[in-house]
């Protein structure tokens, strides 16, 4: 890891981020980072608790003269999204993130950076460790598994926290104060299918969609980024009638909350149509790349000859499946009628796996309006059930309803304008924050979300802005001084 990171200002923040990023912390495998955080709290001599699901709570008394202020919960999640470029050799289970400075940005070498939500965790660690930062009594809440189910927030019981204000440090625009977020639900379509022996007159090809940016399936769903699963399906859709194309395997996408960057398909075509197939693939590739050239300049669609696969998918299932994926909503379903420029409801077709007689299609549906979420979920269910799939719903979590009369919001709005000479952008976001879930057991807690500029979260292009971190750090320190 570059020592340059530790020299950045504010050093308290970047040193703690470097310490944290040396610890592998994949979602659902947080044992090492939980132990790391517990040791951190205990070494400071602070009350440190691990609850029954793995969340860590560290409590620090108020500094002198601030004992009568409202107790503040500072909250961030310990896990990070694990994504890497196809040509990057890296083991997230054993290696720390390899970071470097690129002008005004901190990046990782070929992987996600973990600034989401590592910079929030590092902020809280720096304040817990400090001896000269003024603050009221603090309850630091480090949740687990935010990125793949929010099970940490869901498992946090009432009564563990006494704070009246919660500062969630998981927003990715430094001029934004978050007051609401979308809820979400996983939609999974599955079905078995019969495999057939591949006829002797067919030959094998591998099709690869790669080079897409990927990104956050909530915050970036409206940007027009390419979805590798939808692009792959488009490439395959008409090829049976024209070239006798039959699907053997598809492996596309990865995490439910990341816009898919890559997809691979093993197919068989009629040997007699090989030249025409290659010509048409070249034309279609150029058409798709031309459409997406502004947002996806590095998109590649490669077609390479391979050994003919032994098995192919039943034709009737193949035709139904490709039609269902084509018809399934991906991207924005509805914009908010009440909050300008806010995506209300969306879907990300995150994962498509076809192999060994089984189909698995995984989606993440988000919405700030429960009835609209249900409407889109039923739309997806109907689409996939028409092709014989069983559709399951899981991981349902609530949104966070905005409270424009929030007392801490009024404090932070005034303070932001005082520090920066302009008003902040007060907004709800289309990402899933833990505030809505935490509010179920702590309904009286006044909640707000903010953070530094982080771009490309959930992708290997993730980067954190150094100058923004400095601006954010000053804001954090002043907020703690002004807590009523």
With a CB cutoff of 8 Å and minimum separation 6, the contacts of 384 are: 189, 324, 328, 361, 391
- Residue 47, helix vs strand vs coil: strand
Nearest alpha-carbon partner for 226 in 168, 180, 295: 295
Quick one: angle between helices 228-237 and 274-291, nearest 10? Answer: 140
Please report the DSSP string for 177-189 in residue order.
EEEEE-EEEEEEE
Burial of 80 (0-12, 13-18, 19+ CB in 10 A): buried
Nearest alpha-carbon partner for 197 in 286, 353, 288, 312: 312
Asked whether the CA dihedral 256, 262, 266, 271 is positive or negative, the reply is positive
Apex 212 CA angle, 178 and 184, nearest 5: 35
Give me 61's structure tokens. 């008394």
- Active site annotation includes 79: yes
Give me 283's structure tokens. 């034309």
CA 159 to chain centre: 29
Nearest alpha-carbon partner for 126 in 408, 438, 469, 483: 469
Kindly give the pairing relationship between strand 105-108 and strand 343-355.
Answer: unpaired
- Active site annotation includes 98: no
Nearest alpha-carbon partner for 427 in 181, 221, 220: 181
Residues written for the chain: 484
- Residue 135, helix vs strand vs coil: coil
Give me 127's structure tokens. 């304040």
Q: Which residue out of 146, 170, 173, 462 is catalytically annotated?
A: 146
With a CB cutoff of 8 Å and minimum separation 6, the contacts of 272 are: 201
CA dist 357 and 15 (Å) reads: 49
Q: Count CB neighbours of 374 within 10 A.
A: 15
Containing H/E element for 15?
Answer: helix 11-21
Which residues form the catalytic set?
79, 146
């Amino acid at each position: 890891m570059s020592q340059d990171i530790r020299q950045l200002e504010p050093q308290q923040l970047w040193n703690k981020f470097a310490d944290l990023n040396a610890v592998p912390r994949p979602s659902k495998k947080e044992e090492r980072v939980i132990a790391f955080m517990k040791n951190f709290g205990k070494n400071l001599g602070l009350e440190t608790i691990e609850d029954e699901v793995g969340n860590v709570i560290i409590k620090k008394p108020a500094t002198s003269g601030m004992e009568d202020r409202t107790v503040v919960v500072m909250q961030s999640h310990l896990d990070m999204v694990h994504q890497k470029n196809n040509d990057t050799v890296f083991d997230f289970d054993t290696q720390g993130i390899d970071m470097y400075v690129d002008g005004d940005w901190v990046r990782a070498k070929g992987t996600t950076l973990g600034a989401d939500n590592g910079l929030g965790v590092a902020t809280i660690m720096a304040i817990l460790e400090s001896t000269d930062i003024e603050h009221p009594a603090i309850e630091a809440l480090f949740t687990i598994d935010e990125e793949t189910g929010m099970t940490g927030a869901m498992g946090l019981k009432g009564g563990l926290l006494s704070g009246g204000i919660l500062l969630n440090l998981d927003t990715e625009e430094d001029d934004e104060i978050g007051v609401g977020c979308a809820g979400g639900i996983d939609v999974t379509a599955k079905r078995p299918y019969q495999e057939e022996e591949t006829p002797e007159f067919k030959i094998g090809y591998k099709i690869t969609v790669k080079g897409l940016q990927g990104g956050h399936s909530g915050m970036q769903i409206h940007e027009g980024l390419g979805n590798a699963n939808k692009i792959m399906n488009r490439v395959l859709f008409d090829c049976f009638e024209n070239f006798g194309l039959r699907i053997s395997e598809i492996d596309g996408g990865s995490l439910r909350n990341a816009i898919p960057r890559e997809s691979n398909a093993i197919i068989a075509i009629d040997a007699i149509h090989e030249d025409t197939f290659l010509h048409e693939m070249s034309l279609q590739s150029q058409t798709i790349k031309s459409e997406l050239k502004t947002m996806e300049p590095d998109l590649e669609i490669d077609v390479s000859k391979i050994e003919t696969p032994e098995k192919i998918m039943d034709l009737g299932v193949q035709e139904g499946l490709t039609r269902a994926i084509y018809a399934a909503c991906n991207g924005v379903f509805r914009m908010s009628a009440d909050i300008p420029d806010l995506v209300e409801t969306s879907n990300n077709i995150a994962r498509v796996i076809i192999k060994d007689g089984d189909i698995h299609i995984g989606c993440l549906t988000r919405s700030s309006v429960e009835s609209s979420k249900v409407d889109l979920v039923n739309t997806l269910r109907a689409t996939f059930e028409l092709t014989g799939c069983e559709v399951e719903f899981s991981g349902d979590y609530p949104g966070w309803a905005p409270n424009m009369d929030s007392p801490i919001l009024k404090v932070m709005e005034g303070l932001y304008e005082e520090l920066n000479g302009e008003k902040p952008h007060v907004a709800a976001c289309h990402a899933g924050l833990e505030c809505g879930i935490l509010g179920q057991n702590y309904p009286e807690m006044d909640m707000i979300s903010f953070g530094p500029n982080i771009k490309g979260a959930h992708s290997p292009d993730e980067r954190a802005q150094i100058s923004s971190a400095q601006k954010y750090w000053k804001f954090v320190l002043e907020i703690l001084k002004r807590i009523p």
